[in-house]
């Protein structure tokens, strides 16, 4: 299969890595819109415009399916994007909510971007659960720029110290999962949305592995971050399709 995966930047690579682990014999085409990141505080209309251009890019690549590896786009534009292409599209949030609704717990915290939290997509769809939604807008720029502020991470974690579950509601956040976990107690389980997504899919393995990474803007920090996430051969291309 030829699978398209996209995000605002490098966060979706955490999803790509999980996909490859489960389905290693496919061709993957990744698009990271680093020129326009962060997406987390952009208006819905702008997010749709940016996503539409990426969908058109994937159409030229003749992908068999598209995965929205971005919590912000998934929460704001998924339904609209499904209606503008014949290519099957999967979002990252729906399988996470479906998984969480099967669990038995008392309370759950969500770390996500401003735009995702503003939709209240988790609170609206988690049944009979106590949900605390927290905007963690500083995380994406810190991760992309390789400039972590541990005090900021700690202060957010102290707000959820007694919660049963923490959802990393942005695909960038697993990159700093180790730092987040260090400030939580042992009873708090951390949910990586990539695992929920991949476990919900039923894909085939019918090709050799091929990975092409497209980014709308390349820089040294990005290249270093990519190599710290992916440990497989890949081709990388700068492509501004906006």
Please report, for the chain, how many H helices and E strands are present, in that order.
11, 10
Kindly list the distances between the CA atom of residue 214 and the CA atoms of 54, 66, 226, in Å, as whole numbers in the listed order.
11, 15, 12
Alpha-carbon span 144 to 181, nearest angstrom = 20
Kindly list the distances between the CA atom of residue 187 and the CA atoms of 53, 105, 128, 147, 151, in Å, as whole numbers in the listed order.
42, 11, 21, 28, 22
Alpha-carbon span 75 to 215, nearest angstrom = 22
Alpha-carbon span 168 to 112, nearest angstrom = 7
Residue 161, SS3?
A: coil
DSSP string, 59-74: HHTT-SEEEE--HHHH
- State the catalytic residues: 70, 170
Residue pair 241/32 in contact by the 8 Å Cβ criterion: no
Phi first, then psi: give them for residue 157, nearest 5 degrees.
-65, -35
Alpha-carbon span 166 to 181, nearest angstrom = 10
């Amino acid at each position: 299969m030829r699978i398209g995966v996209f995000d605002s930047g490098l966060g979706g690579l955490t999803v790509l890595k999980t996909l490859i682990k489960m389905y290693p014999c496919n061709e993957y085409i990744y698009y990271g819109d680093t020129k326009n990141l962060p997406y987390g505080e952009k208006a819905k209309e702008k997010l749709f415009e940016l996503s539409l251009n990426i969908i058109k890019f994937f159409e030229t690549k003749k992908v068999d399916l598209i995965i929205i590896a971005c919590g912000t786009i998934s929460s704001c534009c998924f339904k609209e994007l499904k209606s503008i292409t014949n290519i099957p599209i999967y979002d990252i949030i729906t399988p996470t909510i479906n998984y969480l609704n099967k669990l038995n717990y008392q309370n759950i915290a969500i770390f996500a971007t401003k735009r995702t939290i503003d939709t209240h997509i988790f609170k609206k769809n988690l049944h009979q659960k106590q949900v605390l939604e927290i905007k963690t807008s500083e995380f994406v720029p810190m991760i992309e720029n390789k400039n972590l502020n541990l005090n900021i991470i700690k202060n957010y974690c102290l707000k959820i110290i007694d919660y049963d579950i923490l959802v990393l509601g942005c695909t960038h956040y697993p990159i700093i999962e180790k730092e987040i976990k260090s400030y939580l107690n042992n009873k708090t389980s951390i949910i990586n949305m990539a695992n929920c997504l991949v476990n919900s899919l039923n894909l085939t393995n019918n090709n050799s592995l091929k990975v092409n990474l497209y980014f709308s803007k390349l820089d040294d920090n990005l290249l270093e971050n990519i190599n710290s996430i992916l440990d497989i051969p890949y081709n990388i291309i700068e492509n501004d399709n906006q």
